[in-house]
Structure 1
Amino acid sequence: MADSGGGGGCGRCCCSFILTSGLTALFMWLSLRTSNPVCSIQDIYVPALNKSANSTDATNIYFNLKLDNENKDKGIYYDALNLTFFYAPNKSLPIGNRTFRQFYQGHKKNTRRTGWVETRGVPWEAILNGSAASFRVDLATAVRFKIMAWKTKKHKLVVGADVDVNDHGQKVYKKGIRLRSGAPERGCYRARVGTLVTLIIAVYHLVFLN
C-alpha cells in the first residue's frame, strides 16, 4: 500500500511539472509572438477622373497610406516602403510608384504616408467614358520587430488591394481599404493555441480534481 501511494505521488508530481512547463511555454509564446502591421489606403484622389472639375490634364494620383502597429509592447522597424500602382484591368503593367525611406514605429502607434504619384501609360480617355475605375495598390517592404532589447530577423511584407474610384475621382468606399497578403491568415495558430489550452486544462482536471 505504501509503494502504491508513493507511486501515485510521483506520478502526480510529474504531471504537475508537465502542466507547469506547458503553461510557461504558452505564456512565453504569447509574449513573444508578433503581429504584422495593418496597412490600409485611407484615401485616393484621381483628378483626371473628376468630371465636375474638368481637370482631365492632371494625371497624377494622390494617396493616403496608414500603417498601424497593433502590438502592445513590440516596436517595428520598416525597410523602405515601395508602393506600386496599377490600372486594374492590366495588373502586370505598373502605372506609377513611390518609395519612402525606412523608419521605426513604436508599439500601438500609427503612421501616415501621403503624396502624389506621377502616372504613365494610363488610357485616361477610355476610362473617362465609364462611371468608375479600379486601381491596384501594392505595398512591399521588410519588417523587424523590437522585443525589449533585441530585434527579430527581417521578414518580407507584401500586401495589396483593389481600390474603386468614382466619377468624382474619389475612393468609392469611405472607410479605409486594408491591404492584404496572398498568404493564408494566422487562424491556424489560434487553433493550435486553443488546442494547447484545452489540453492543459484537461490535464489539470485529471490530476488535481479527481
Structure 2
Amino acid sequence: MSCSRCAVSFCCCFTIFVAGIIALIVWSAISGYRLPACSVEDFYVPYLNVTDNSTSVRTNHTLYFDLRLKNREPLVGVSYDDVKVTFFYGQNSSLSTPIGNYSFPKFYQGHGKKARRKALVETYGVPWEAASANVSNGSTVTFRVGLSTRATYESCSDDGGCSYHTYALVQGADIDVDGSGRKVDKQGIRLQSAAAAPQHTCRPVFLGLPVVLYFLVLYV
C-alpha cells in the first residue's frame, strides 16, 4: 500500500512538473520575455589614479570597462544586435556630449547564460585636470554608461514553427570613480532601463510549488 502511494505521488509530481514547464513556455509566449540583466563589473580610468604619477598615466585618456550580460529566460535563447556602449562625463547625460563609445558585434546567448564583454576606450572632451583635482581632494567624479541594442527571442514548437519577439534594450547607469581610478562600488553596477519595455517578473513556475504541496498532502 505504501509503495502504491509512493508511485502515485511520484506520477503526480512528475505530471505537475511537466505541466509547469509547458505553462512556463506558454506564459512566456503570451506575456513576453524579461529583458537581459546588464551590469558594469569593472570600470577603471587610469588618469584618475592619483597614486601613479608616471608619464604613461598622466597622458592616458582611456577608460576600461567590463560589461556583463545575462539572459534571464530559463528556456529561451536571445540574439543581440550590435551592442553599442556610450560614455558620458557627469550625471546628466542629456545635457552633455559623449566622451567615448564602443560597439560589440551581434551575438547569440543561450537560455540562462551569461556573457562578458571587455574593452579599452579612447575618450575625448573630458576635463581631466578638474576631474583629477576632485578625486585628489577625496571626492568622486561621475561617469555615465549607456547601452543600446535589440534583443530578439526565438520560440519554436515541435512542429517546426517559430515565433520571434524583439525588444529595444536601452539602459544606463552612473559610475562614481574615486582617487584609485576605479569605481567606488565594488559590486557590479546594474544598468537600468531608460525606455519603457516589457519586463515580466511573475512566472507560473512560482505557482507550481503550492500545487505540488497540495498533491503531496492529498496522496501521500
Same fold by TM-score, threshold 0.5 exceeded? Answer: yes
Q: Is the contact made by 1:73 and 1:147 (CA closer than 8 Å) also made in structure 2? A: no
1:183–1:26 Cα change, 3 Å: farther
Give the AA of the match of 2:87: F
SS of equivalent to 1:107: coil
Task: Confirm whether residue 167 of structure 1 aligns to residue 179 of structure 2.
Answer: yes
Task: Confirm whether residue 126 of structure 1 aligns to residue 113 of structure 2.
Answer: no
Q: Gaps spanning 5+ residues in structure 2: where?
A: 1-21, 208-220
SS of equivalent to 1:129: helix
Equivalent positions of 1:130-141 (< 5 A) are 130-131=134-135, 132-141=140-149
Give the AA of the match of 1:148: C
Provide Cα deviations, 1:123-162, integer angstroms capped at 9, x if missing partner.
Answer: 0001111122110000000110022362413221100000
SS of equivalent to 2:73: coil
Equivalent positions of 1:83-102 (< 5 A) are 83-89=85-91, 91=93, 92-102=96-106
What's 1:37 paired with?
Answer: 36
Q: Partners in 1 of 2:113 and 2:142 — Cα distance? A: 30
The one of 55, 59, 62 aligned to 2:61: 59
- Farther-moved stretch of structure 1 (156-165 vs 84-93): 84-93
Q: TM-score under structure 2 normalisation?
A: 0.70
Q: Is the contact made by 1:88 and 1:134 (CA closer than 8 Å) also made in structure 2? A: yes
Q: Is the contact made by 1:143 and 1:155 (CA closer than 8 Å) also made in structure 2? A: yes
Give the AA of the match of 1:174: K
Q: Percent identity?
A: 41
Q: TM-score under structure 1 normalisation?
A: 0.73
Deviation at 1:70, TM superposition (A): 1.7
SS of equivalent to 1:130: helix
Q: Partners in 2 of 1:61 and 1:178 — Cα distance? A: 19
Q: Gaps spanning 5+ residues in structure 1: where?
A: 1-24, 198-210
How big is the alpha-carbon RMSD for the aligned residues of Structure 1 and Structure 2?
2.6
SS of equivalent to 1:30: helix
Provide Cα deviations, 1:74-122, integer angstroms capped at 9, x if missing partner.
Answer: 0000000000000015523000000011010000100010011100000
Q: Larger Rg: 1 or 2?
A: 1
Q: How many residues align?
A: 171
1:26–1:75 Cα change, 3 Å: closer
Q: Partners in 2 of 1:180 and 1:164 — Cα distance? A: 16
